[in-house]
Amino acid sequence: SAAPRRIDGAGAEPGTIIGMEGGALTVKCGAGALQILELQLESKKRMSAPDFLKGCRIKTGDRFGQ
| Segment 7-66, tens digit of pLDDT | 667 788 999 999 998 889 999 998 889 999 999 999 999 999 999 999 888 999 999 876
Q: Above 50 in pLDDT, residue 6?
A: yes
How many Cα atoms sit within 13 Å of 64 on the Cβ side? 11
pTM for the whole structure: 0.77
